[in-house]
Amino acid sequence: MKTFVILFLVGCASATLRPRLDGRIVGGKPVSIEDFPYQLSLQYGRSHICGASIIAPNWVLTASHCVDGRVSSQMSFRAGSSFHAGGGTVHQAKTIIMHPNYNKNTYDYDYALVQVINPFEYETKVKPVELATENPRPGSRSTVTGWGTLTSGGSIPNQLQSVDVNIISHQNCESNYGPNKISERMICAANPGKDSCQGDSGGPLVDPITKKQIGVVSWGYGCADPNYPGVYASVANKDVRAWIKTVTEI
């Protein structure tokens, strides 16, 4: 589950496969929700734990590892606010559906859909994001958004953060992580000194030109480690798109 940090994150670079659960966006900047109206703060017990995105009036897309073992009665989403701790509207979760093939050891199929009780009412600060049908080409720029600490060991900022990263080829990413680590459901992105990190998980990776979501923040070795790109669950995968359509009917 993800959050964001600004500046290089010391102590986040141990070579251990881990979901990005509660850390920061590295090298990012504060932004307004008007520019990212699909962004949600996934909250559990009223505390921000992950990112998520609006894909339909009653449906949210996030990462399976963000919702694994959690109950809907304790889960909600804050929409329409640049600040995870207040503003906007809060939407109570109704149904949590993890991808049936999710593997908690490898983070393959790291997708989850959550149905909310009170639908999102679209306006300037609250809008759905369209899901991409094709993966971006290597070298393409992409944008990740979320909330997280500004420095290693620092306090968590209340305002939404964003960072730009570049898509890495599947082959190059696999050469970094090793064989059988990067599945067909994963895409990788990196930029020197910039990355998503713990607490950003479940949040959207978006093409800044088409404004379509291309990935879900998933996992990585450390944060902004020059040897290990961030790994995202690809939403363009045909089987995954078919599952999303079957569940949500969108």
Asked if 48 is an active-site residue, the reply is no
For residue 20, what pLDDT band results from cuts at 50, 70 and 90? very low
- What percent of the chain shows pLDDT beyond 90? 70
Is the pLDDT confidence value at 5 over 50? no
Q: CA 156, CA 174: separation in Å to the nearest integer?
A: 32
pLDDT tens digits along 132-150: 999 999 999 999 998 865 5
Is the pLDDT confidence value at 32 over 80? yes
pLDDT tens digits along 123-132: 999 999 999 9
Strand partners, 77: 42, 91
pLDDT tens digits along 180-209: 999 999 999 987 444 455 557 899 999 999
For residue 8, what pLDDT band results from cuts at 50, 70 and 90? very low
Question: Catalytic one among 76, 162, 201, 234?
Answer: 201
Region 32-57: mean pLDDT is: 96
Asked if 84 is an active-site residue, the reply is no
Superfamily of domain 129-236: Trypsin-like serine proteases (2.40.10.10)
Write down the pLDDT at residue 94.
98
pLDDT tens digits along 87-124: 999 999 999 999 999 999 999 999 999 999 999 999 99
Q: CA 114, CA 94: separation in Å to the nearest integer?
A: 7
- Residues 158/188, Cβ–Cβ less than 8 Å: no
Joined tokens for residue 248: 């949500």
- Residues 6/26, Cβ–Cβ less than 8 Å: yes
Question: Catalytic one among 110, 200, 207, 225?
Answer: 110
242 SS3 class? helix
Range(s) of the chain covered by CATH 2.40.10.10: 37-127+239-248, 129-236
Q: Is the pTM of this model over 0.85?
A: yes
Write down the pLDDT at residue 150.
53
37-127+239-248, CATH topology level: Thrombin, subunit H (2.40.10)
For residue 12, what pLDDT band results from cuts at 50, 70 and 90? very low
Query: What sign results for the dihedral spanned by CA atoms 105, 245, 185, 187?
Result: negative
Q: CA 53, CA 62: separation in Å to the nearest integer?
A: 7
Asked if 201 is an active-site residue, the reply is yes
Question: Catalytic one among 65, 84, 91, 99?
Answer: 65
Q: CA 176, CA 148: separation in Å to the nearest integer?
A: 26
Q: CA 19, CA 222: separation in Å to the nearest integer?
A: 10
pLDDT tens digits along 66-86: 999 999 999 999 999 999 999
Alpha carbon separation from 249 to 9, 112, 149, 244 (Å, rounded): 40, 15, 37, 8
172 SS3 class? helix
